[in-house]
């Protein structure tokens, strides 16, 4: 099968276009990765080029040994993916130790996977284990309103979780575990990858102060939807703060009622 005919590739391309249109991906901002199912790889692997050299990931991900990922390219623009997917995205193969990768398709005119590959792969590894192989997508976006809030709110998981939950009734149902906040760090390396993957052990959302948001999910729709929900909630909060702040809000007892009605567990630490 032609790689561009595979459903997961079409969905990946559609997500990059949708996310660009949301205003989250200026220039080359943000990146996306998808952990390809073995049966999906089998459908297209006749097109793979196994001759490129392996390159260091910059992180160790032994639980991902031998896996294939579809990833955006470093310095590539989300808005161009739909026009020229082969130039802007790539399929990579992880080696048997989980320490190196090689490009087997894509980035046809050169380039390398996103500079946030260590964060993406470490998050994938954590989520693969934590969700028993269910989570397959990591999306990093430069979400305007979430970033704005990191200049105003204390950089604490509890504060961001509670504020975002309060801004839209269904938020606690969409991200019942809450969100984690990573203090400002240099992007693109192992250090920020380690901090973020620690957050991903607890949450599906990690906010990078003054930079953006990471979301993890089972599929492309769910992950895009999670980013969309978090960012919309942040937008409401920005509006509320701009209008002089909350005069009334959802109370802890009401969150407990919501949790019961929607059959989700909300950690008590966020209900104080």
Q: Which residues are part of the catalytic machinery?
A: 116
Torsion of CA 197, 200, 206, 211, to 10 degrees: 20
Q: Which of residues 175-214 bind ligand 13P (CB under 6 A)?
A: 187
Of the candidate residues 114, 150, 196, 233, the single one contacting ligand 13P (CB under 6 A): 114
Q: Is 31 in the site for ligand 13P (CB under 6 A)?
A: yes
Report the nearest approach of ligand 13P to the CB of residue 235 (Å). 20
Selection from ligand 13P, Zn ion, none that 114 binds (CB < 5 to 8 A by kind) is ligand 13P
Q: Which of 193, 189, 119, 187 is nearest to 147 (CA)?
A: 187
Segment interacting with ligand 13P (CB under 6 A) among 29-37, 86-94, 155-163, 198-206: 29-37
Q: Which residues bind Zn ion (CB under 5 A)?
A: 212
Instruction: Output the DSSP codes for 175-244.
Output: STT--EEEPP--TTSHHHHHHHHHHHTT-SEEEETTTEEEEEESSHHHHHHHHHHHHHHHHHHHHHHHTT
Size of site (CB under 6 A) for ligand 13P? 12
Check if the beta carbon of residue 113 is closer than 8 Å to that of residue 89. no
Q: Is 80 in the site for ligand 13P (CB under 6 A)?
A: no
Residue placing its CB nearer to ligand 13P in the complex, 31 or 204: 31
C-alpha radius of gyration, the chain, whole number = 19
Q: Which of residues 124-143 bind ligand 13P (CB under 6 A)?
A: 140
Segment interacting with ligand 13P (CB under 6 A) among 53-61, 89-97, 111-119, 163-171: 111-119
Q: Is 30 in the site for ligand 13P (CB under 6 A)?
A: yes
Distance in angstroms (rounded) separating the CA atoms of residues 208 and 214: 8
Which tokens hold the place of 168? 């839209």
Distance in angstroms (rounded) separating the CA atoms of residues 44 and 36: 11
Residues contributing to the site for ligand 13P (CB under 6 A): 28-31, 72, 74-75, 114-116, 140, 187
């Amino acid at each position: 099968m032609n790689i561009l005919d595979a459903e997961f590739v079409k969905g990946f391309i559609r997500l990059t276009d949708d996310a660009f249109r949301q205003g989250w991906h200026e220039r080359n901002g943000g990146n996306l990765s998808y952990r390809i199912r073995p049966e999906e790889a089998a459908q297209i692997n006749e097109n793979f080029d196994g001759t490129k050299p392996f390159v260091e990931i910059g992180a160790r991900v032994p639980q991902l040994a031998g896996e294939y990922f579809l990833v955006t390219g470093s310095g590539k623009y989300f808005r161009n993916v739909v026009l020229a997917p082969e130039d802007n995205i790539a399929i990579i193969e992880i080696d048997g130790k989980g320490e190196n990768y090689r490009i087997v398709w894509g980035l046809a005119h050169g380039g390398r996977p996103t500079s946030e590959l260590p964060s993406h792969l470490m998050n994938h590894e954590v989520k693969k284990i934590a969700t028993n192989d269910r989570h397959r997508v990591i999306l990093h976006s430069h979400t305007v309103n979430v970033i704005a809030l990191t200049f105003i709110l204390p950089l604490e998981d509890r504060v961001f979780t509670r504020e975002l939950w309060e801004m839209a009734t269904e938020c606690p149902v969409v991200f019942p575990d809450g969100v984690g906040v990573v203090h400002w760090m240099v992007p693109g390396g192992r250090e920020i990858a380690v901090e973020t993957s620690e957050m991903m052990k607890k949450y599906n959302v990690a906010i990078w102060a003054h930079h953006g948001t990471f979301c993890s999910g089972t599929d492309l729709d769910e992950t895009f939807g999670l980013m969309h929900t978090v960012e919309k909630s942040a937008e409401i909060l920005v509006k509320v703060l701009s209008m002089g702040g909350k005069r009334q809000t959802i109370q802890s007892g009401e969150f407990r009622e919501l949790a019961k009605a929607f059959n989700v567990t909300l950690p008590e630490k966020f209900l104080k």
